[in-house]
Amino acid sequence: MYNSIMMDEFEQLLRKKEINVIDVREDDEFESGHIKTAKHIALGIIPESLDKLDEKEEYYIICHSGARSARASMFLGNKGYKVINVMGGMSAYRGELKFGK
């Protein structure tokens, strides 16, 4: 199980405090612009990347529009992780971007 958050609320959180963001887009999408603090774990490799995550932490999952992040959130939530799907994804994000890896 997982929760969802609207982009406006997510952007406010990003400005207020440090949060764990996981970007599940493909490599080329991530490199073309991502949230500075985001950790990149493409959707296809999440099952083998669980050792990179801490079950005690809360993670905000983002993709391009919200579909892949919803799938990742469902998978991770079912594994016991605390996850929040960022609705609208990077297509709705208005903040500063970092380019490259």
**Residues assigned a catalytic role:** 63
CB 30 within 8 A of CB 47: no
DSSP assignment string, 9-33: HHHHHHHHS--EEEE-S-HHHHHT-
- Cα 93 to Cα 64: distance, rounded to the nearest angstrom: 9
The H or E element containing residue 3 is strand 3-5
